[in-house]
Structure 1
Amino acid sequence: MDRLNAMLAFVRVVETGSFTKAAETLHMSKTSVTQHVQYLEGRLRVKLLNRTTRKVNVTAAGAAYYERVVKLLGDLDDAETGLSNASMSPRGRLRVDVPTPLARMILLPALPEFHARYPDIQLDMGVSDRMVDLIDEGVDCVVRGGELTGLSLVARRVGDLRLGVYAAPSYLESAGLPSHPRELAAPDHYIVGFSWTIANGVSPYAMRRNGEVVKMHGRYVVAVDDGNAYLAAGLAGLGVLWLPDYMAKAHVVRGELVRLFEDWHLDPLPMYVAFPANRYVSAKLRVFIDWVSALMAQHAPIADRRGLESDNELRAGQ
């Protein structure tokens, strides 16, 4: 049996905590994954995993073996990279998940240039605004906005999105033009809700002016869990939006959105590329992160680099 494939199967079982999930991410059958792990245990004459009907736990010997195998597979990836010109053209399948508006408006339009530079990288791009479990779903990295807390991730800050408050002319004709953010709490006004902020009790972004700070929850007619749907609801006149400027710019130029409270300041929304803390950073992942960083530097540069590490890498949750 191929020892490398067996090692890959074992690593993925440890990372997902499941033979079934490991099989799905490796595009193997569950039987094949089981046989690979059994092969390793027979070869090493040691139990690597404790299996129950509900979960799989790594043994002490398995945990030590896992750490060494992850490093070995990473070193092998680097060795092949150097010998096959992959230092300039890394190769392999990369699983990423990115927000829907960022994919549609920034990443996908620039993807032909990335493909021309790295033709041997196959991107499996999940496009969503939901919370993604990188380990269980076998995702190599995610791009997300907002501070990442309480997660066992390594995150690289790649940009800051400038934000504004916007509404459609049809909405303002019906509800009136508010002169102060607190007016959005009046019965005539609505916001467009975003589902994760509602579920987690998160307020919209703080608005600041001359020492005054306002956070408005507001009432909503509709709440969505997708950035493109959020924008569409605002364009339809269903409520006030908090939007990154890159999403609103073209609609403002066409008169489809009006910026509100221009004398108020909103803190930028930090953008991160995040990956599991125990996951080896392969050459293909490194070049993807660098590419996203370069794109964000064009569209949403980091507002203030003071206090950041030179590579902007932070342990999420600290």
Structure 2
Amino acid sequence: MNKLQAMEVFVQVVDAGGFSRAADAMQLPKATVSTLIQQLETALSVKLLHRTTRQVTVTADGAAYYERCLRILTDVKEAEESLSRTRLSPSGRLRVDAPTGLASSILVPALPAFFARYPDIQLELGCSDRLVDLIEEGVDCAVRGGMLADSTLIARRVGVLNMLTCASPAYLEQYGTPHHPRDLERHRCVNYFSAKTGKIYDWDFTRDGERIQIPLPGVIAVNDSTAYVEAGLAGLGVLQMTDYLLRDHLATGRMVQILPEWVSDPIPINIVYPQNRHLSTKVRVFVEWVAELFDSHPSMRVRTHAPTVPQPQPTAEPEPA
């Protein structure tokens, strides 16, 4: 038995909560994972896991052994990296998850610079607005917006998302332009709901110390940022969305900012990763790169007043011949 491999398999089984998920994450046959755990328990003369048809849980001895394994494996990893090129040139597969709009609008366009700096990393970028389970799905780190409810994750704040309230010209022509947040109660609004709970989010506005937070009526609610913007472009109602997804549409006149003197709460952006997992060099450099990228992006800075957004430019009339 390879003791270090058996320890790695044991840690993965505990993290994943099952043999099948651990086997998938480590790309090993399930039979190999089961055999290594059995050999490890035989060598230690201790039962490490409780197995039922529905779940796998760690025993008291297994929990103590798990903590020791984590420290040992971390020390081995750091020793290997200190004697290799990994610290200077990180390599290998890196699995990251990010919200759809943020990934497509900010992360992906900047990735050529990331790969120029770290050519030996193979990035697997999951793009969705659902909340993935990092451990169960084998994700190294995730970019997340909003307040964090999962206390088992380590988080690093890397930026904020600023919000704008907008509508299409066709919508405003048909329904008129609201001049106060309370006017929206008589309008159609495009709502956004949580993919996890199904709860529709309230809208919030602040101006000169006055704060308004209200639910608003709408004929449609979505849970994907791309679909949300498309609903606004289609004239389905007023929307409140991050300015980086709206800037191009504002510049071309396909969307019009309304209530510009009212500021909505910025949404914090964090990178999260499991606290019981060694932060490898490839994860560390990705986190640092994202922090640099967001720090230099105009849409990611905290604002205390309404942002200035690009206005549509008139088409120049041709000069007479």
Structure possessing the higher relative contact order (Cα contacts under 8 Å, 6 or more residues apart): 1
Q: 1:222 to 1:63 in 2, by over 3 A?
A: same
Partner of 1:290: 288
The residue correspondences of 1:28-43 to structure 2 (distance < 5 A) are 28-43=28-43
Q: Judge conservation of contact 1:197–1:203 (CA < 8 Å) in 2.
A: no
- Paired with 1:169 and 1:4, the residues of 2 have a C-alpha distance of 63
Offset at 1:301? 4.5
Moved more, 174-183 or 1-10: 1-10
Partner of 1:103: 103
Q: 1:207 to 1:8 in 2, by over 3 A?
A: same
**Which deviations, in whole Å up to 9, do the C-alpha atoms of 1:34-55 show, x marking residues without a partner?**
1221222122222111111111
Moved more, 266-275 or 29-38: 29-38
- The question of 1:80 aligning with 2:68 is answered no
Identity percentage of aligned residues = 49
Partner of 1:218: 216
Partner of 2:278: 280
- The question of 1:264 aligning with 2:262 is answered yes
- Paired with 2:196 and 2:78, the residues of 1 have a C-alpha distance of 44
Q: 1:198 to 1:53 in 2, by over 3 A?
A: closer
Offset at 1:63? 1.3
Q: 1:69 to 1:33 in 2, by over 3 A?
A: same
Q: Secondary structure at the match of 1:160?
A: strand
**Which deviations, in whole Å up to 9, do the C-alpha atoms of 1:253-290 show, x marking residues without a partner?**
00011111111122211100011222221111111111
Q: 1:109 to 1:20 in 2, by over 3 A?
A: same
Instruction: Kindly tell me the number of residue pairs found equivalent between the two proteins.
Output: 302
- The question of 1:129 aligning with 2:114 is answered no
Q: 1:156 to 1:205 in 2, by over 3 A?
A: farther
Root-mean-square deviation (Å): 1.9
Partner of 2:233: 235
Q: Where does structure 2 lack aligned partners over 5 or more consecutive residues?
A: 304-321
- The question of 1:20 aligning with 2:9 is answered no
Offset at 1:200? 5.3
The residue correspondences of 1:65-214 to structure 2 (distance < 5 A) are 65-186=65-186, 189-196=187-194, 199=197, 201=199, 203-214=201-212
Q: Judge conservation of contact 1:78–1:283 (CA < 8 Å) in 2.
A: no
- Paired with 2:290 and 2:210, the residues of 1 have a C-alpha distance of 35
TM-score by length of 2: 0.88
- Paired with 1:151 and 1:198, the residues of 2 have a C-alpha distance of 17
- Paired with 2:301 and 2:148, the residues of 1 have a C-alpha distance of 16
Q: 1:72 to 1:115 in 2, by over 3 A?
A: farther
**Which deviations, in whole Å up to 9, do the C-alpha atoms of 1:197-231 show, x marking residues without a partner?**
89454533420112322123222222222111111
Offset at 1:12? 1.2
TM-score by length of 1: 0.89
- Paired with 1:43 and 1:76, the residues of 2 have a C-alpha distance of 21
Partner of 1:315: none
> Which protein has the larger Cα radius of gyration, Structure 1 or Structure 2?
2
- Paired with 2:208 and 2:196, the residues of 1 have a C-alpha distance of 28
- Paired with 2:196 and 2:257, the residues of 1 have a C-alpha distance of 23
